[in-house]
Amino acid sequence: MDEKKGLNLTIKVWRQKGPKEKGHFETYSLQDISPDSSFLEMMDVLNEQLVAKDEMPIAFDHDCREGICGMCNLYINGHAHGPDEDVTTCQLHMRKFKDGETITIEPWRSAGFPVIKDLIVDRSAFDKIMAAGGFVSVNTGGVPDANAIPISKEHADEAMDAASCIGCGACVATCKNGSAMLFVAAKVSQLALLPQGKVEAARRAKAMVAKMDELGFGNCTNTGACEVECPKGVSIANIARLNREFLVAKLQD
């Protein structure tokens, strides 16, 4: 059996020394990259070459490399997480690219996600939104029998689908307005659909939306781009639920 031919690639990467420095693109060449390697493995190879030449390696975020943590936030050829569907950057494989192709890599572009260095952005804004209301603080007691909680399968499934959001920020990077509505909607929905989340529902919706606005994220204009690029396929139907939760909360004031 013949071995698969390696890819020869041109890599255009955003380089920025710090948050207050002016960034720019730098171009590198890579030869014989395995089509079966992941995108981050390709980045590792590039960094090894830079280190070997006593050049500063490219800073990029990653952790689990299993599509769970959401840290591998790269904007690749005009797509959050790259050209593949329903995957994070660490799950993207080089077979999605052609031999001789130029790959442009950028950080998330949003006022809410300032660049720290190169491809790393500060996503702590999402943590602040969660701290504002994305939790349940009522005393729920011990763990009850699963059948004792009156939750319909439809609501349980919808709550689990919303909870699949990993907070990577692809929705923000994709949205022309830099909106975080899909993220906030998913985190509100996963609790709004469950009995445990009802006690603080009004305060939660108002607090999380207020914090989102405070941190500089844009408004949602329902273009649907966030849903298309979400690696977990979180539905924009959650945004409609967030709007309902918010309106109900305002009417209760």
Domains and CATH numbers, the chain: 7-116 (3.10.20.30), 124-251 (1.10.1060.10)
Check residue 136 and give its pLDDT.
Answer: 85
Check residue 89 and give its pLDDT.
Answer: 98
Residues of the chain with pLDDT below 70 are 1-3, 138-149
Phi/psi of residue 65, nearest 5 degrees = 55, 30
Contact assessment for residue 184 and residue 122, using Cβ atoms and an 8 Å cutoff: no
Check residue 80 and give its pLDDT.
Answer: 97
Check residue 185 and give its pLDDT.
Answer: 97
Q: Return the number of other C-beta atoms located less than 10 Å from residue 25's C-beta.
A: 12
**Encoded tokens for 175:** 């949205």
Spatial separation of the C-alpha atoms in residues 131 and 139, rounded to whole Å: 18
pLDDT tens digits, one per residue of 99-153:
999 999 999 999 999 999 999 999 999 999 999 999 887 665 666 666 666 788 8
Size (the chain), residues:
253
What is the DSSP track for 36-101?
Answer: TSBHHHHHHHHHHHHHHTT-PPPP---S-SSSSS-----EETTEET-SSSS--GGG-BGGGS-TT-
Check residue 3 and give its pLDDT.
Answer: 58
Contact assessment for residue 213 and residue 112, using Cβ atoms and an 8 Å cutoff: no
Spatial separation of the C-alpha atoms in residues 73 and 87, rounded to whole Å: 11
Spatial separation of the C-alpha atoms in residues 161 and 125, rounded to whole Å: 23
Spatial separation of the C-alpha atoms in residues 209 and 217, rounded to whole Å: 10
Check residue 210 and give its pLDDT.
Answer: 96
